[in-house]
């Protein structure tokens, strides 16, 4: 089985900073700590409304990181220009609506293929590995492969909600969709990632899927960091991922 990478999403360090409008806590400091704790990459979502990560954070991260940056963005011309300027290691295209609290669903790739293809190609040509954040739905995955994405990131939100709310039958059904979607994506030649809402309780079955090579995790790690510190919170997630993968 390929090694499972952990991308740590630092958006919510910026959320806390912005609550007071000052400079602390610093997302770059969090990113460096995450690197030290074993993160294989750092993920940051520059939203259109700049509610957490700001343009200057992306510049500072590009400057400071030793591990790859995964730049999450909506498919807009403004974000495309920013990504093409920085040429991050990876770009993950996500849907974005101003009124949502977080990224609530996957991208509508099947119904918007021509428009999204116009985003994928220039990013790929600039050297970024382009990922599409999709629901675990075969139609979306097949459309992602058709428009030339290298990666799909499977949205684990519905599964994680069911785990958190103790709805075991729903959690099993959602996990089944994710398992099948991972196989479909792998068979279509796509690299498979997963993320959204993952916690210590929900990460195991997703980490155990042999097709999945990267998880992106943010909100839970930052919440846990309040009580046990960021490095320890990340190390514990890494330990659970390794255990689910059959390692130590």
Rounded CA-CA distance 155/93 in Å is: 12
From first CA to last CA, the distance across the chain in angstroms is: 14
Which of 186, 197, 231, 204 lies closest to 2 in space, CA to CA? Answer: 186
Rounded CA-CA distance 107/236 in Å is: 31
Rounded CA-CA distance 248/246 in Å is: 7
Tokens representing 126? 């600039």
CB of 92 to ligand PXP, least distance (A): 5
| 197 sits near ligand PXP (criterion: CB under 6 A) | yes
Q: How far is CA 120 from CA 26, 106, 115, 124, 180, in A?
A: 31, 16, 9, 6, 25
Is 196 tagged catalytic? Answer: yes
| 107 sits near ligand PXP (criterion: CB under 6 A) | no
Is 52 tagged catalytic? Answer: no
Among 20-28, 51-59, 137-145, 195-203, which window interacts with ligand PXP (CB under 6 A)? 195-203
CB of 95 to ligand PXP, least distance (A): 9
Contacts (CB under 6 A) with ligand PXP, residues 74-93: 92
Give the number of residues in contact with ligand PXP, rule: CB under 6 A: 19
In the complex with ligand PXP, which residue's Cβ is closer, 19 or 248?
A: 19
Candidates 17, 32, 196, 240: give the one binding ligand PXP (CB under 6 A).
196
CB of 208 to ligand PXP, least distance (A): 18
Which of 6, 65, 64 lies closest to 40 in space, CA to CA? Answer: 6
Under the rule (CB under 6 A), what is the footprint of ligand PXP? Answer: 9, 11, 45, 72, 92, 94, 102-103, 133, 153, 195-198, 216-220
Residues forming the active site: 45, 72, 196
């Amino acid at each position: 089985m390929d090694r499972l990478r952990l991308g740590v999403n630092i958006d919510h360090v910026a959320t806390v900073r912005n609550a007071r409008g000052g400079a602390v806590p610093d997302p770059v400091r969090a990113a460096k700590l995450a690197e030290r704790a074993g993160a294989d990459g750092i993920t940051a979502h520059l939203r259109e409304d700049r509610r957490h990560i700001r343009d200057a954070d992306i510049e500072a991260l590009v400057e400071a990181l030793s591990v790859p940056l995964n730049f999450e963005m909506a498919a807009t011309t403004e974000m495309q220009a920013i990504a093409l300027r920085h040429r991050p290691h990876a770009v993950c295209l996500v849907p974005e609506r101003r009124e949502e609290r977080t990224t609530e669903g996957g991208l509508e790739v099947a119904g918007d293929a021509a428009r999204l293809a116009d985003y994928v190609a220039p990013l790929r040509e600039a050297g970024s590995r382009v990922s599409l954040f999709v629901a675990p739905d075969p139609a979306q995955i097949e459309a992602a492969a058709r428009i030339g994405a290298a990666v799909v990131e499977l949205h684990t939100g519905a599964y994680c909600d069911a785990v958190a709310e103790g709805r075991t039958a729903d959690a099993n059904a959602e996990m089944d969709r994710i398992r099948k979607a991972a196989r479909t994506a792998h068979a279509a030649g796509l690299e498979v990632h997963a993320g959204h809402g993952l916690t210590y309780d929900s990460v195991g079955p997703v980490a155990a899927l042999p097709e999945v090579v990267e998880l992106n995790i943010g909100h839970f790690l930052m919440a846990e960091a309040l009580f046990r510190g960021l490095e320890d919170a990340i190390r514990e997630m890494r330990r659970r991922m390794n255990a689910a993968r059959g390692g130590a």
